[in-house]
Amino acid sequence: MPTSIMTIKQKLDSHLGDTITVVAQAGRKKVTKRRGILRETFPAVFVVDLDQHQNNFKHVSYSYTDLLTKNIALEFDDEAEEAEA
């Protein structure tokens, strides 16, 4: 993942509308995975509309600093397909 907030935002802007998986550290030895669609980016946060079959709430927002500090990781479905090909 890029090393500055601006490059992270630019990369996410290019993936608006794409399906992603967010892998978040939920505590000691706990990891949560949430699938959804990247809906919007703002100056400090981005919003993911979650898959309603797997989650109890509609959307979630994360800070770009979560990516910088590696509290979360993003997996884009189109990048996973390219890696498999």
How far is Cα 53 from Cα 67, in angstroms, rounded to an integer? 26
Structural domains of the chain, count = 1
Q: Is residue 79 part of a domain?
A: no
Q: Is residue 54 part of a domain?
A: yes
Residue 66 counted as domain residue: yes
Residue 2 has pLDDT above 80, yes or no: no
Q: Is residue 83 part of a domain?
A: no
Answer yes or no: pTM beyond 0.95. no
pLDDT above 50 for 83: no
How far is Cα 34 from Cα 23, in angstroms, rounded to an integer?
A: 7
Instruction: For 14-62, write each residue's pLDDT tens digit.
Output: 999 999 999 998 888 899 898 999 999 999 999 999 987 777 789 999 9
Q: Is residue 80 part of a domain?
A: no
- CA dist 71 and 62 (Å) reads 10
Identify whether 81 is part of a domain: no
Place of tokens 């935002």: 9
Domain that holds residue 13: 3-74
Give the CATH number of the domain where residue 58 resides: 2.30.30.100
